[in-house]
Amino acid sequence: MNDSHSELLLSDFSGVEPYVLPAAGWRGFSDRVMGGVSDASLDKSTVDGRSCLRLTGTVTRESNGGFIQMAMYFGSRDAELDGSAYKGLEMLVYGNNENYNVHVRTADCGWYDESYRYTFFSKPEWQQLRIPWADFKPNGLDVPLDSSRVNRIAILGWMREFHADIALARIALYT
């Protein structure tokens, strides 16, 4: 966090050593966890001169599947991050001219399909996105996003047949 508290840095891969918020971590996985057949790979990489975390793979709807994702957790057993002092999520991403989703899960989310969702288009160039909490739409829930109880933020290749290739250099909460 900088001196003006204008942001809370969650992860930054651009330095000599990647930064991840203490107790937090990243995981990559696909719909194979529930019987799908999409393929996912999550690796540290360099894209257009920037160090990053890169999610690649083939998303397919076969076998009731349809996603690959990189997910940030804030500790064990659904530990929560209080993001209520911030307006939303800021990401530096590089894509392949495809739509991707950001899903936020909070303590209000129970079933695996419940989350707050936002879709964005990612060009093959580094672009900074700012997504206000209010722009995340509930899926499977009838309560608004409670940013004081965030327990996962994920970037997904989502629910259609395509080759996903999305890189993340930095992610933070902004004021």
- Length of the chain counted residue by residue: 175
State the Cα–Cα distance between residues 10 and 90, nearest whole angstrom: 10
- Read off the CATH number of the domain in which 120 is found: 2.60.120.430
Strand 7-12 relative to strand 162-174: parallel, antiparallel, unpaired? Answer: antiparallel
142 located within any domain = yes
What mean pLDDT value characterizes the chain? Answer: 94
**Number of other CB atoms surrounding residue 110 within 10 Å:** 10
pLDDT for 32 equals 92
2 located within any domain = no
Domain count, the chain: 1
pLDDT tens digits, 41-74? 999 999 999 999 999 999 999 998 899 999 999 9
28 located within any domain = yes
Domain that holds residue 101: 7-174
Mean pLDDT of 116-125: 98
Strand 88-94 relative to strand 19-20: parallel, antiparallel, unpaired? Answer: unpaired
85 located within any domain = yes
pLDDT for 5 equals 67
Is a pLDDT exceeding 80 seen at residue 3?
A: no
